[in-house]
Structure 1
């Protein structure tokens, strides 16, 4: 669980609702069914129009990373790679065959299979780099779906505002219908701008950050597997891969 994402949503929505109440408004004034339909429906329709189905489905799956990011344990990965290296030095690369079935990460599993099959280090690097960059690009495209929603929703909110004002102008002779039209006009704008800047764009940036972290984790795995293919000492592999792990900076007094 990512506490910063949860805290960010609570603070953002709380500030708007709390500020509205402080000014003497009530939460009911921010709830408007037609405005929700216009902004959410219009934004979703625009995103579906510009996004391939596979990218949209991947974006739906990746959204959970905003609040529940993948568990990435660099030191644990390094220890595991060092263990593979020790097995390879004792039993040869074929000794890693039993490790493949127990590995949950498809990227690491592919790397182990390439090692067991006796591929050269350069060939392994080429194969894994293609998959690594392809995965990273898919994750970035998923983030761009939310980024697109953040770009469309304010404009759709303005469309909702104009529609509300049109409704007002058509009913000037009936004062009882003016209030709902004006409410839809202003609330639609709030929804469009608020969703873009409080949810869609921040969520897109968080997905990009998670994607970058996943890319770094795959780079660690790639370098470890290449080191095993080149027959490096397990201790040397640990020292080399430790550069991927973030450590607290020490203050020099």
Structure 2
């Protein structure tokens, strides 16, 4: 949601700056420029990508602006809990983890179910790695759609401005000089729409999708490695130290703090 807020703020600052220079909000509205820029951009996307991919734009936008980042430290702490339960009660006990947690990530749920079913670790890793890679490729495809739109929109803006100037210059001999300035101004709105939409909408969304894809891939790599360690029934320290290597230094320090906190808690419970 924060991405949507900053996108709106970008447009607000742009308009406020324009009004601060003495402009009028109505001067920024031109339906013909809108049709040329966004219609041309949409046509270009339809030519470059399949109809199936175009239909998914709404879903992709919803993901881009509503998806929350996963707390990787909490994810590793959770797998410590899963490991402890598997060692004490066996893999079949993990069935309850799947049934009770309705909001569990589908990728992790699938992996845990395979562990419960007793599937060989190498098969689980191979299957989940393929699924992770294909998901990452899909995300890259949708990011490239918005990159393409970000490259096309400014060009469509120039096309719209040229078309407007052709119309203005074509009637220059009979033009009302009072209306000439307004006509030229309207022609340049197409360039504004193209540049504004590319740099405030299309390219930032493309970058956001790429970052979300990287975060999701890292999360899935941790899940895959964690499931393998759970199946091996390694020590809690081994699991934590192995998965900690996926984190940045700030999260590593946070994980160490949580691990010590859990150890102190277990010691207090025993006492």
Which whole-Å CA distance do the structure 2 matches of 1:209 and 1:113 have between them? 29
More displaced 10-residue stretch of structure 1: 58-67 or 128-137: 58-67
Deviation per residue, 1:109-151 (Å, 9 max, x gap)? 1111221222222111111000011111111111111111101
Q: Does 1:118 align with 2:97?
A: no
**TM-score, normalization: structure 2?**
0.82
Q: Corresponding residue for 1:7?
A: 6
Show the 5 A alignment for 1:104-143. 104-143=104-143
Which whole-Å CA distance do the structure 1 matches of 2:69 and 2:197 have between them? 28
CA 58–216 in structure 1, closer or farther in 2 if over 3 Å, else same:
farther
Q: Corresponding residue for 1:19?
A: 17
Deviation per residue, 1:2-47 (Å, 9 max, x gap)? 2x6633641x334432332333222222111110111111111211
Show the 5 A alignment for 1:1-253. 1-2=1-2, 6-7=5-6, 9-10=8-9, 12-103=10-101, 104-176=104-176, 178-179=180-181, 181-248=183-250
Say whether the 8 Å CA contact 1:143–1:205 is kept in structure 2.
yes
Say whether the 8 Å CA contact 1:120–1:229 is kept in structure 2.
no
SS at match of 1:62: helix
Structure 1 unaligned regions, length at least 5: none
Deviation per residue, 1:40-76 (Å, 9 max, x gap)? 1111121122122343344422323443332411122
Which whole-Å CA distance do the structure 2 matches of 1:89 and 1:175 have between them? 86
Say whether the 8 Å CA contact 1:6–1:67 is kept in structure 2.
no
| Aligned-pair Cα RMSD in Å | 2.3
More displaced 10-residue stretch of structure 1: 208-217 or 167-176: 167-176
Say whether the 8 Å CA contact 1:65–1:210 is kept in structure 2.
no
More displaced 10-residue stretch of structure 1: 125-134 or 57-66: 57-66
Say whether the 8 Å CA contact 1:34–1:184 is kept in structure 2.
no
Which whole-Å CA distance do the structure 2 matches of 1:68 and 1:191 have between them? 26
Q: Give the C-alpha shift of residue 189 in structure 1.
A: 0.6
Deviation per residue, 1:173-226 (Å, 9 max, x gap)? 442464554233200011101111122111211111111111111111111111
Which whole-Å CA distance do the structure 2 matches of 1:52 and 1:221 have between them? 32
Which whole-Å CA distance do the structure 1 matches of 2:100 and 2:248 have between them? 27
**TM-score, normalization: structure 1?**
0.87
Which whole-Å CA distance do the structure 2 matches of 1:140 and 1:59 have between them? 13
